[in-house]
Amino acid sequence: MNVNFLKLVSLKVTLVVGAAFGLGTSVWIWFGKDESFRLWQVYIVAAFMGLAGTGLLISSLAMTSDLIGGNTATGAFVFAAMV
């Protein structure tokens, strides 16, 4: 298989998994109103939100790096514009 194809698929899978974790934990927060949620489930939700944020950040940075490609003269500007 083509290496670029596999790289693109893995980036998209990481993006989708990160978004799924984010949506899943948002639904969990929406319905988590009982006492067990306040006592111990909130820690698991925080960990999953961290996973979601990390996955989305890594995939967006990797896609931006692929977009810059060999044009390294303006790469720093593009990454600074993302922040």
Between residues 27 and 32, which one has the greater pLDDT?
27
Residues near 18 by beta carbon (within 8 Å), at least 6 away in sequence: 51, 52, 53, 54, 55, 56, 58, 59
pLDDT class of 1 with cuts at 50, 70, 90: low
pLDDT class of 5 with cuts at 50, 70, 90: low
Residue 8, pLDDT > 70, answer no
pTM: predicted TM-score of the whole model, two decimal places: 0.74
Annotated domain spans of the chain: 3-82
Residue 21, pLDDT > 80, answer yes
Residue 83, pLDDT > 70, answer no
